Amino acid sequence: MTRFNSVVLDVDSTLSGVEGIDWLASLRGAEVEAWSNSLTARAMDGLIPIEAVYRERMSLVKPTLFEIQALSAVYIDRVAVGAREALAELRENDVELVMVSGGLREAILPLAKELGVGEERVHAVSVFFGRDGEYTGFDERSLMTRQNGKRATVKEMDLKGPVLAVGDGMTDCDIRPVVDGFAAFTGFMKRDPVVERADYVIENFDQLRALVLE
């Protein structure tokens, strides 16, 4: 018996200590990085809706395939301490794991593979490239670029309950009405409005393992 049968995991600043789009923005210089950081922080604190900033950031950052591959390596480098072990144990206990991210899918897939989460369980925003790896756009229809997109996506998945959602941001917290519990993850970022609305507060993956299994 486990306390939760499915766990919905955020990626940026939860499974890995990086905000992918901000990292890509940092390649465009300090000014673009600072601008992107402030938009991300305000969106994750719930001060501005995510759809207001997504297109704007991508049209300025325009990541190439090569840069997305470099970001994939960063995601793996900065994986949360204990996440590999905790997720392996959850899988052994037949807990279903899904990754739901407002980040870029192609950058996240290698991390998912590393953590044993199948591609079909990774919900994020696809990015498109031309023949030479140049940026041509992102999936603007993706629900994940919208404020309630994570909630709508999780609802559609019809996961085996009880379901726990885990993340550091307001878009994760917004999943709460369609799941059985929300855990604020504070291992990388502690956002007070998210912590205040959470059912649980965890700062590492050992605590997640205990919350789900014990």
* Of the residues 40, 168, 194, 211, which one makes contact with Mg ion according to CB under 5 A: 168
Shortest distance, position 168 Cβ to Mg ion, whole Å: 4
Comparison of 64 and 142: residue with beta carbon closer to Mg ion:
142
* Of the residues 4, 7, 9, 13, which one makes contact with Mg ion according to CB under 5 A: 13
Decide if residue 106 touches Mg ion (CB under 5 A): no
Q: Is 10 one of the catalytic residues?
A: yes
Shortest distance, position 92 Cβ to Mg ion, whole Å: 26
Q: By rule CB under 5 A, what count of residues binds Mg ion? A: 5
**Count of other CB atoms within 10 angstroms of residue 120:** 7
* Of the residues 5, 6, 9, 10, which one makes contact with Mg ion according to CB under 5 A: 10
The pair of structure tokens assigned to 91 is 């899988």
Query: Please, is 195 exposed, middle or buried when counting C-beta atoms within 10 Å of its C-beta (0-12, 13-18, 19+)?
Result: middle
CA dist 197 → 41, 175, 201 (Å) = 17, 11, 10
Shortest distance, position 94 Cβ to Mg ion, whole Å: 26
Length of the chain: 214
Q: Is 12 one of the catalytic residues?
A: yes
Helix ranges, 45-94 (H): 51-61, 65-77, 83-92
Decide if residue 169 touches Mg ion (CB under 5 A): yes
What's the gap between Cα 137 and its chain centre?
20
**Which amino acids are annotated catalytic?**
10, 12
Residues that bind Mg ion (CB under 5 A): 10, 12-13, 168-169
